[in-house]
A and B are shown apart, each in its own frame.
Chain A
Amino acid sequence: MIEPTPALATFLRIALITTFAYAATLALYVAGMLAVAIAESRFRRRQDDVEDYEAVRGSRYTIPVSVIVAAFNEEGMIVPAIDSLLGQVYPEMELIVVDDGSTDGTLAAIDAAYDLEPRQEFLRDNIATKPVRTLYHSRTDPRLTVLVKANGGKADSLNCGVNFARYLYLCTVDADTIFASDALLKAMTLVGKDPERIVAASSLFGISLTPESDTREGPRLNQHLLGDFQHLDLMRSFVAYRTAWTRLSCMLCVSGAFALWRRDVILEAGGFSPAFTCEDIEMTFRIHERFRREGRPYRIISLPNMVAQTEGPRSARSLISQRARWQRVTLETIWHYRSMLGRARYGSVGLVGVPYYLLFECLAPVLQLLSFVALLVAVLVGALAWPTYLAFLGAVTFGTAIPTTIAVGLHDAGFRDYRVRDLVRMLVLGPLDLLIYRPILMYAGLRGTWEFLQKDRRWNKFERNTRSGRAPAAHAASI
């Protein structure tokens, strides 16, 4: 046993008090959010039960949607993604694929599948973007347009699509995502009930290692530990937390993999900002800030339906790279919109949403590391007995599994779409999350925080997962 010096003893005291205070605050916040999420999920379930999707599907009065796909080096995934989008059971839509100066065969793959022909058309420039080189229309499906432009990043590509879009609502999606055929119908039916106020919407999506080859009915687990942990992570985030934030009117992240925006609001905001690492969370914050400041009525919602499967990293290294980027953009956004923190003028956004992001997203990796080190040192110097440490660790392990279990339960009660064996696997993986998955996220968070402090703005691409019978593609994922 190590004899603690007075300085070490002081550090331990402060660190342990911080650890317990942080854990207690988190537990209280999570308990509150879960209670709200349960109420909101029940409400959505009842609403979904009586919703008349068939009438909306067959109507010529449904609000048309412009779907925008920003693609950069997506040769392998772009055609299945377009197939799934053009296969939507939605009465009226256009699909705009923006090729952001790809250096692989992205355009050739689309051409081979959809027989493109170049056209001369007038392009609006409501938002400044990199120049569009060529515009193509598909000869086989008139809904498909492909814009080829100089490389400018995802935000620039989306802005280019916004300029070209014709319809009131925009659906911005990732090019490595495969969509359920009723994704737009389900989301837009709800939006169509209150189009004057709903300015943005998002919906749950799952993680798959090879989404384009998964033809099974309903969502499935990957039977790959890391993939399944990511799948559970998204389910917990959407079903437990974002559902609650929707109820409390402080939904702060309309996820880029499937995001519906009202076009006039995007134009009024000046388009997506290329100054941030990712565009989705920043745009959500910007809309909140603007509408709250001006006292205008609006809603940003997150829906519990599983609308898509997107490609997630297979290796811990790729996952760290991706999550470090997410941590970086969260820090960039929170820092930029720090004026909303704790301000009653911004309502639940300033008092509930932003404090959550600051405490449990931005500072989490540092506080987690502090807790981990403090508890370990406390055991080594004899301030904490091993059995107490293990009991505490066990309590935290199962405590952090409870939100996952509730999220799985709420999803299953609403949709009954997973097989029973997948449900069992998800429930069992819940307690393992803290021991296997969270340490990876903690490291990624620390790396992202360091990159933020270094003002690093790189995308940090992760390599595509290896497909059976193919060499690993060395191009980027857009998620």
Chain B
Amino acid sequence: MIQTVAVVTANSAAIIGLLVTVGVWFAASLSVLVSRLLYDRRRRRLNDIARQLTDPSLEKLLPLDRSPAIRRILSRRTRREVYRLVASDQFPVWLTEACATYCLEHFGVEEIRRDASARHGRKWRRVSALMALGRIRGLEVYPLLEAAIRDDDPDVATAAAQVLFRIGDRAAAVILVSALRGASVPASRIATYLDQYPIPIGDLLIPLLRDPQPRTRYWAASLLERYAEYVRSAPIRTIGPHTSVERNPDRSFVGQIS
């Protein structure tokens, strides 16, 4: 009797196990395929929209107004997904610009600002909101970026540096340059952005040559290489005020050659 019960139990357990594993495998496989097919369909639609958006006759209209389809697509997506489109570097600029405009229109600056200043949790929402604000170049973005670039999380800080570089104006450069003095982003990444900065920033780098940190002085001198007008004086200033002639014979040598 006991043996029969054991056999029946083993049999049932094996069959239930089989049904469960087949079910899970099938559902997982189906979801992989459906997700891919939906992605491909979305991609095709975006290509159609891209063609419409690049029509020269629509040039004067805002990206969102050029094609009703894009507004329709975005209205079906959650805020997280729209934010992700704004933040992504994988999509063409026209799409991210259109998504940023859509964010402004639907969520409002205040809401985006709140997302961009969130300090705990929702890291990627914060990064995306910062990128959205960066795309629309609102004035409220600067203090938020200044806080973000000093954030302990390197992903948030790196994203802030990237947004500042994309904004590319003088106010953004001031924040980036000050981050050279210390942030959770490696200085090499900040230097990468400053080196490729779209406007001249040599005068902002000069004060760093007097920074007490040798590391900061190094980056400043290295970045100044791009600016011919500062090249000769940069190494001299680096050595200058923090050393004395007596203790550093190099200074007198530099004084002679300058």
Interface residues of A (CB under 8 A from B): 46-47, 49-56, 58-63, 192-195, 384-385, 387-389, 391-392, 394-399, 401-402, 405-406, 408-409, 412-413, 416, 420, 423-424, 427, 430-431
Nearest CB of B to A395, in Å: 4
Are the C-beta atoms of B196 and A59 separated by less than 8 Å?
yes
Residues of B within 8 A of A416 (CB): 36, 39
Interface SS of chain B: helix, strand, loop or mixed? helix
CB neighbours (8 Å) of B244 from chain A are none
Report which of B18, B29, B159, B188 forms a contact with A61, defined as CB distance below 8 A.
B188
Whether B243 sits at the interface, judged by CB under 8 Å, is no
What A residues does B90 contact at CB under 8 A? 49
Interface majority SS (helix, strand, loop, mixed), chain A: helix
The 0/1 profile, CB within 8 Å of A marked 1, for residues 157-187 of chain B is 0110010010000000000000000000110
A406 to B31: give the CA distance in the assembly, Å. Answer: 10
Of the stretches B6-14, B71-79, B100-108, B227-235, the one at the interface is B6-14
Residues of A within 8 A of B88 (CB): 49-50
Are B89 and A423 in contact, CB atoms less than 8 angstroms apart? no
Q: Which residues of B contact A409 (CB under 8 A)?
A: 28, 31-32, 35
Besides A194-B154, A388-B11, A391-B18, 15 other A-B contacts (C-beta < 8 A)? A50-B88, A55-B193, A59-B195, A61-B189, A61-B195, A387-B11, A391-B17, A395-B14, A398-B18, A399-B17, A402-B28, A420-B33, A423-B33, A427-B29, A430-B25
Interface check B53, CB cutoff 8 A:
no
Give B1-46 interface residues, CB cut-off 8 Å to A: 7, 10-11, 14-15, 17-18, 20-22, 24-25, 28-29, 31-33, 35-37, 39-40
A430–B191 CA distance with the chains assembled, in angstroms? 47
The 7 closest A-B pairs by CB, nearest first: A395-B17, A391-B14, A398-B21, A59-B192, A409-B32, A395-B18, A399-B21
Option from A50, A56, A408 in Cβ contact (under 8 Å) with B131:
A50
14 contacts across the A-B interface (CB closer than 8 A): A49-B89, A50-B128, A55-B192, A55-B196, A193-B186, A388-B10, A389-B14, A397-B21, A402-B25, A405-B29, A423-B32, A424-B33, A430-B25, A430-B29
Q: How far is the CA of A427 from the CA of B31 in the complex (A)?
A: 11
Which residues of B lie under 8 Å from residue A397 when comparing CB positions? 21
A427 pairs with B186, CB closer than 8 A: no
B21 touches A402 (CB 8 A): yes
Which of B37, B40, B124, B196 is in CB contact (< 8 Å) with A58? B196
Q: How far, in Å, is B87 (CB) from chain A's closest CB? A: 5
The reply to whether B36 and A385 form a contact with Cβ atoms under 8 Å apart is no
B28 and A192 contacting across the interface, CB-CB below 8 Å: no
Q: Which residues of B contact A56 (CB under 8 A)?
A: 189, 192
CB distance from B72 to the nearest CB of A (A): 23
A417: shortest Cβ distance to chain B, in Å?
11
Q: Bound complex: CA of A392 vs CA of B9, how far in Å?
A: 13
B89 engages A50 (CB within 8 Å): yes
B84 at the interface (CB under 8 A from A): yes
Give every chain B residue within 8 A of A389 (Cβ-Cβ).
Answer: 14
- With both beta carbons as reference points, the residue of chain A lying nearest to B154 in the complex is identified as A193
Inter-subunit contact A193/B131 (CB<8 Å): no
Q: What is the bound-complex CA distance between A397 and B84, given in angstroms? A: 38
Q: Is B133 an interface residue (CB 8 A)?
A: no
Query: CB of B220 within 8 A of chain A?
Result: no
- Select which of B25, B32, B89 is within 8 A of A51 by beta carbon: B89
CB of A52 within 8 A of CB of B188, answer no
Question: Per a CB cutoff under 8 Å, which of A49, A394, A396, A408 touches B32?
Answer: A408
Question: Chain A residues near B20 (CB, 8 Å)?
Answer: 395
Q: Chain A contacts of B18 at CB under 8 A?
A: 391-392, 394-395, 398
B125 to chain A, nearest CB (A): 10
Select from chain B the residue with minimum beta-carbon distance to A387.
B11
Residue-wise, chain B 186-219 has the 8 Å CB interface mask toward A (1 for contact) of: 1011011101100000000000000000000000
Task: State the CA gap A396–B29 with chains docked (Å).
Answer: 17
A52 to B89, CA, bound (A): 7
Q: Is there an interface contact between A193 and B24, defined as CB atoms closer than 8 Å?
A: no
Instruction: Judge whether A427 and B165 touch: CB under 8 Å.
Output: no
Give bound CA distance, A399 to B23, whole Å. 10
Contact of A47 among B155, B165, B191, B192 (CB under 8 A): B155
B98 within 8 A of A: no
Q: Is B99 an interface residue (CB 8 A)?
A: no
Q: How far is the CB of B102 from chain A (nearest CB, A)?
A: 18
In angstroms, Cα B194 to Cα A448, docked, is: 54
| Given A61-B188, A427-B33, A406 contacting B127 (CB threshold 8 A) | no
Inter-chain contact B189/A49, CB cutoff 8 Å: no
A473 CB to closest chain B CB (Å) equals 38
* Cβ-defined contact, A405 with B25, below 8 A: yes
Q: Which of A192, A424, A430 contacts B189 (CB 8 A)?
A: A192
Chain A residues with CB under 8 Å of B39's CB are 416
Cα–Cα, bound, A25→B64 (Å): 54
B36:A406 contact, CB within 8 angstroms: no
Among A51, A61, A63, residue most surrounded by chain B Cβ atoms (within 10 Å) = A61
Decide if A50 touches B162 in the complex (CB within 8 Å): yes
Q: Which residues of A contact B15 (CB under 8 A)?
A: 391
